[in-house]
Structure 1
Amino acid sequence: MTFEAYLLAALAVFLTGISKSGFAGGLGILGVPLVALTMPPQSAATLLLPVLLLIDIVSVWRFRASWKARTIMALLPGAGIGIGLGMIGFSSLDPNLLKIGIGLLALWFVVRQVFGDKTVAGTLGRLGAAKIFVASLVSGFAGFVAHAGGPPIKGTILSLGLGKSAFVGTNAMFFFILNLAKAGGYASLGLFSVSGLLSSAALVPFTLMGIWAGFALHDRVPQRLFVRMAFGLLALAGLNLLVFGGAGLLTGAV
């Protein structure tokens, strides 16, 4: 990994650490697009996966008393199928089209919150089994291919109206399980290497700094402001995916 690539990756994992540990994602979706400026997207995804697992492990421990097991169990079946489809399409799918699709989905969640009915579903039953399955399937597929699985799940869990710690904890546990499954899929495809894992290990200090900053912000932000920031980060993630995906299509990037 070149020095330029290392600096971009360090920035990516720092932002990801803040975002995932404090607000359950948003800025973290910048990770693969940033690192992909210096290497193929598949290589960027492989480099970042061990770092994402570290963030998940620390976040799950931090919010161990807050996550909602029933919500996670409802999300896992669709996510598992999505991961399987992601393994099939990992090498052949144009990630730029995927980014655009996920970006539009993220913005739809935000637009619905701002201009639509602002009441929350409150329960999984009111949210609907079909919506949960589709969101988790898209998340599993997009997460495997480009670590872009956050927006569908974030929008779904936000609509349940959970407290901020329950929201972050549930998101963290879900993605810990998802990323463990992804790691098995990456290993079966022969994507990991000793040099790659060493490069991931070199990013750990920046990851830990990001996690610490995320926890500190989480404890200081009031619930109402937290929800607004969460939707703001979701909008930022959607716009980021549209911009990077559209730019990739225009320049012929893969």
Structure 2
Amino acid sequence: MITDPFFYLCAIPAILIFGMAKGGFGGGIAVIAVPLMSLAVPPFQAAAILLPILVVMDFTAVWSFRGHWSRRNLKLALPGAIAGITLGAFTFHYLSEAAVRILVGLIVVVFCLDYWLRNKASEKREPDALRGTFWGSIAGFTSFGIHQGGPPISIFFLPQQMDKKLLMGTFAVFFTVVNLVKLIPYAWLGQFDTTNLMTSLVLIPIAPIGVRLGYYLLHKIDEQMVYRICYFFLFVVGLKLLWDGVAG
């Protein structure tokens, strides 16, 4: 396993933050995880180490939100997500992380600005198959490459204004399926060598701590505040992805 202390100095807070995102604040703040770990190891190695840990987080989140998820949304979004993962697997060697970050960042920033400038807070949009399939496929593709499926699928989920527990539970089940499916192509592409797997195993105990901390904080704030936080971090994520993409 990795023995460099600097790696763990980066990885432990990254995993805690990602867990808090899954436990109560959507995918927004999780954007820092891979870049933070990439200070110590290459980005694709960071993603490979993180994936088994994400699966543990997902199961913890599903247990925390048990019974609170939208089956309709999952039926609409998951087929597209699996298609996006498949596309990501077959284009893995041609993927440009910078291009993916720019694309996702631009979409997210425009989405948030449109939401705020047109004052859409009071508008509620019902889920539909076309949007679910489209944003699900984008989320699957970007999740495969850089573990950033949260921003695209948020564009589908957030305008529906679901109850906060229903929203977070739907996120949890969606990413449980997505990350379990991703294990297959990651293994096929040789991303799970002994070093990466042993490092993941050492870090796994931190995963449920972050999720439960996020779940605890979720119950301390009201529903409108949850949505404000989600949109705020989604916007910050978009700017960060744009910046990283251009710099890359």
Asked if Structure 1 and Structure 2 have the same fold, meaning a TM-score greater than 0.5 normalized by the shorter chain, the answer is: yes
Smaller-chain TM-score bracket: over 0.9
Change (3 A) 1:177 1:120: farther
The residue that corresponds to 1:124 in the other structure is: 127
The residue that corresponds to 1:133 in the other structure is: 133
User: Could you report, residue by residue, the CA deviation over 1:23-61 in whole angstroms, capped at 9, with x for unpaired residues?
Assistant: 122111211111122222211110110111111101111
User: In structure 2, what residue type is equivalent to 1:83?
Assistant: I
User: In structure 1, what residue type is equivalent to 2:126?
Assistant: T
Distance in 2, Cα, partners of 1:17 & 1:195: 22
Q: Aligned match of 1:106 in 95, 105, 108?
A: 108
Distance in 2, Cα, partners of 1:197 & 1:87: 20
The residue that corresponds to 2:196 in the other structure is: 196
Q: CA contact under 8 A between 2:127 and 2:156: conserved in structure 1?
A: no
Say what the alpha-carbon RMSD is for the aligned residues: 1.4
Q: CA contact under 8 A between 1:20 and 1:26: conserved in structure 2?
A: no
Identity score, percent:
35
How far residue 117 of structure 1 moved from its aligned partner, in angstroms, is 4.9
User: In structure 1, what residue type is equivalent to 2:175?
Assistant: F
The residue that corresponds to 1:18 in the other structure is: 20
Flag structure 1 segments of 5+ consecutive residues without an equivalent.
Answer: 249-254
Secondary structure in 2 aligned to 1:124? coil
Distance in 1, Cα, partners of 2:172 & 2:89: 22
How far residue 121 of structure 1 moved from its aligned partner, in angstroms, is 3.8
Secondary structure in 2 aligned to 1:67? coil
Distance in 1, Cα, partners of 2:76 & 2:33: 27
The residue that corresponds to 1:155 in the other structure is: 155
Distance in 1, Cα, partners of 2:108 & 2:55: 23
The residue that corresponds to 2:210 in the other structure is: 210
TM-score, normalised relative to structure 2: 0.94
TM-score, normalised relative to structure 1: 0.92
The residue that corresponds to 1:178 in the other structure is: 178
How far residue 147 of structure 1 moved from its aligned partner, in angstroms, is 0.5
User: In structure 1, what residue type is equivalent to 2:115?
Assistant: Q
Q: How many residues align?
A: 245
Structure 1 runs of 4+ aligned residues shifted over 3 Å read 119-122
The residue that corresponds to 2:87 in the other structure is: 85
Distance in 2, Cα, partners of 1:36 & 1:79: 25
Larger deviation, residues 177-186 vs 99-108: 99-108
Secondary structure in 1 aligned to 2:185? helix
Q: CA contact under 8 A between 2:73 and 2:132: conserved in structure 1?
A: no
Q: Does 1:44 align with 2:46?
A: yes
